[in-house]
Structure 1
Amino acid sequence: MKFNLYIKYGLLSIGILTASISCTNLEIEASDSIVSKESTDGGFTGLADPASSLSDLYNKVGGDFQTQENMYALEQVTTDELLIPTRGTDWGDNGVWRQLHTHTWTSSHLFIKNAWNALNQNVFRATEIIESNPSAQVLAEAKFLRAFNMFFVMDLFGSVPFREVDEGPSINPKVLSRTEAYTFIETDLTDAMADLANGSPGTANTSKATKAAAHFLIAKLYLNAHIYNGSGTPDNADMQKVIDAVDAIKALGFDIQSGYFQIFEPTDDSETILHLNSEVAARIWNTLHYNQNSPDNTGGGWNGFSTLADFYDTFVGDPNSNYVGDGQEERRGFVPDATTANDQNLGIGYGFLINQQYDSDGSALKNRQGGPLSFSKEIASLVGNSEETGMRVIKYHPFDPTDTDNQNNSFRKHQIIYRYADAHLMKAEAIMRMGGDPTALVNELRAKRADTPALPSVTEDILLEERGRELYIEFWRRNDLVRFGKFTAPWSLKEVSGDTKVNLFPIPETALLSNPNLIQNEGY
Structure 2
Amino acid sequence: MKRRIFKFYILSAITLVGIYSCTNLEIEESDSIISDGFQGLADPSSAVEGLYNTIAGQYGDQANRFALNEVTTDAALVPTRGTDWGDNGRWRNLHTHDWTTEAGDIIGPFNQFNANQLVASQILDSRSNPSGQNIGDASFLRAYSMWNILDWFGQIPFRDTSLPSSTLPEVITGQAAVDFILADLDQAIANLPDVTAGNVENNKGSKAAARFLKAKVLLNKHIYIGGSPESSDMNEVVSLVDAIAAQGYGLQAGYFNIFRDSADDETIFALASGVGNRIFNGLHYNSTSLGGGGWNGFSTLAEYYDLFEGDPNNNRLDASGAPLDGQEERRGGVPPGGTTYSNAPQTTDDGGFEAGSNVGNGFLVGQQYALDGSALEDRAGGPLSFGRDFVDGNGNNSLINNSEVTGIRVIKYAPRYGEFRSHQVVFRYADAHLMKAEAQMRSGGDPTALVNELRAIRGVAPFGSVSEQELLNERGRELFAETWRRNDMIRFGQYTRAWEFKSADKVGDVTRQLFPIPAAQLLANPNLTQNPGY
- TM-score, length-scaled by structure 2: 0.86
277, 301, 312: which one aligns with 1:308: 301
Aligned-pair distance for 1:207? Answer: 3.0
Q: Deviations over 1:80-109 (max 9, x none)?
A: 000111111110100010110011111110
CA–CA separation in structure 2 for the residues paired with 1:283 and 1:493: 23
- Given the alignment, which residue of 287, 294, 301 partners 1:292? 287
Paired with 1:311 and 1:53, the residues of 2 have a C-alpha distance of 40
Q: Secondary structure at the match of 2:424?
A: strand
Counterpart selection for 1:323 from 311, 316, 323: 316
SS of aligned partner of 1:393: strand
Provide the rounded CA distance (Å) in 1 between the counterparts of 2:335 and 2:58. Answer: 33
Counterpart residue type for residue 337 of structure 1: P
**Is the CA contact 1:206–1:273 (under 8 Å) kept in the aligned structure 2?**
no
Aligned to 2:343: none
Shift of 1:208: 1.1
Deviations along 1:397-417, one digit per CA (max 9) or x if unpaired, are: 1111xxxxxxxx311111111
User: Which runs of 5 or more structure 1 residues have no equivalent in the other structure?
Assistant: 1-38, 401-408
Deviation (angstroms), 1:56: 0.5
Match of 2:14 in 1: none
Q: Residue 474 of structure 1: which of 482, 491, 503 is its match?
A: 482
Give the whole-Å Cα distance in 1 for the aligned partners of 2:34 and 2:333. Answer: 56
Contact in 2 for aligned 1:346/1:359 (Cα 8 Å): no
| Residue of 137, 142, 149 corresponding to 1:141 | 137
Q: Are the aligned partners of 2:339 and 2:357 in contact in 1 as well (CA < 8 Å)?
A: no
3-state DSSP class of the match of 1:228?
helix
Match of 1:101 in 2: 95
8 Å contact 2:44–2:134 — kept in the other structure?
yes
Q: Is the 8 A contact 1:216 1:418 kept in 2?
A: yes
Counterpart selection for 2:367 from 342, 346, 356: 356
Q: Secondary structure at the match of 1:505?
A: coil
Q: By how many angstroms is 1:498 displaced? A: 3.8
Residue 334 of structure 1: aligned partner? 333
CA displacement at 1:339 relative to structure 2:
9.2
Within-5 A mapping of 1:158-177: 158-177=154-173
Please give the alpha-carbon distance, in whole angstroms, between the structure 2 residues aligned to 1:100 and 1:177.
25
Structure 2: distance between partners of 1:492 and 1:251: 42
**Structure 2 portions without partners, runs of 5+:** 1-32, 318-323, 341-352, 391-396
Q: Partners in 2 of 1:45 and 1:250 — Cα distance?
A: 41
Structure 2 CA distance for aligned equivalents of residues 199 and 154 of structure 1: 28
Which piece of structure 1 moves more, 211-220 or 489-498? Answer: 489-498
Aligned to 1:208: 204
1:340 to partner: Cα distance: 7.6
Report the secondary structure of 2:415's partner residue. Answer: coil
Q: Does 1:267 align with 2:275?
A: no
Match of 1:421 in 2: 430
Residue in structure 2 matched with residue 504 of structure 1 by the alignment? 514
1:108-507 mapped onto 2 (5 Å cutoff): 108-131=102-125, 132-202=128-198, 204-205=200-201, 207-231=203-227, 233-294=228-289, 296-297=290-291, 299-324=292-317, 325-337=324-336, 346-379=357-390, 380-400=397-417, 409-450=418-459, 452-494=460-502, 495=504, 496-507=506-517
CA deviations on 1:399-452 (whole Å, 9 max, x unpaired) are 11xxxxxxxx311111111010000000000111111111110010011113x1
> Larger C-alpha radius of gyration, 1 or 2?
2
1:200: how far off? 1.8
Q: Distance in 2 between matches of 1:178 and 1:331?
A: 37
CA distance in 2, matches of 1:98, 1:339: 34
Q: Is the 8 A contact 2:249 2:265 kept in 1?
A: yes
> Are the equivalent residues in 2 in contact too, given 1:464–1:484 (CA < 8 A)?
yes
How much has 1:45 moved relative to structure 2?
2.0
Q: Contact 2:338/2:356 (CA < 8 Å) preserved in 1?
A: no
Secondary structure at the aligned position of 1:346 is classed as coil
Write out per-residue CA displacement over residues 208-229 of structure 1, whole angstroms, 9 at most, x where no aligned residue: 1110001100110110111111
Kindly provide the amino acid, as one letter, of the partner of residue 399 in structure 2.
L
> 1:75 touches 1:479 (CA, 8 Å); kept in 2?
yes
Structure 1 Cα separation of the partners of residues 355 and 310 of structure 2: 20
Provide the C-alpha distance between the structure 2 equivalents of 1:323 and 1:178, rounded to a whole number of angstroms: 48
Q: Which residue of 1 aligns with 2:11?
A: none
The one-letter amino acid of 1:235's match is E
The normalised TM-score by structure 1 is 0.88
1:92 aligns with 2:90: no
Count of matched residue pairs: 474
> 2:286 and 2:249 mapped to 1: Cα distance?
39
Cα deviation code 1:236-256 (max 9, x no counterpart): 111101100100100011000
Distance 1:382 1:41 in 2: 54
The offset of 1:288, in angstroms, is: 0.2
Q: Is the 8 A contact 2:250 2:265 kept in 1?
A: yes
Judging changes above 3 Å, is the alpha-carbon distance between structure 1 residues 391 and 203 closer, same or farther for their aligned structure 2 residues? farther
Partners of 1:319 and 1:439 lie apart in 2 by: 26
Which is worse superposed, 354-363 or 170-179? 170-179
For residue 75 of structure 2, what is the aligned residue in structure 1? 81
Preserved CA contact (<8 Å) 1:130 1:139 = yes
The structural deviation recorded for 1:78 is: 0.4
* 1:509-524 aligned within 5 A: 509-524=519-534
SS in 1 for 2:271: strand
CA distance in 1, matches of 2:248, 2:199: 14
For 1:119 and 1:399, the matched residues in 2 are separated by: 33
Which secondary structure state, in structure 2, belongs to the residue aligned with residue 382 of structure 1?
coil
> 2: CA distance between counterparts of 1:111 and 1:168?
30
Tell me what 1:53 maps to. 47
SS at match of 1:410: coil
State the 1:359 CA deviation.
0.7
Residue pair 1:307, 1:392 contacting (<8 A) in 2 also: yes
Counterparts of 2:264 and 2:450, CA distance in 1: 20
Question: 1:170 deviation in Å?
Answer: 2.8
Contact 1:376 1:389 in 2 (8 A): yes
Contact 1:199 1:205 survives alignment (8 Å): no
Distance 1:44 1:391, change over 3 A: same
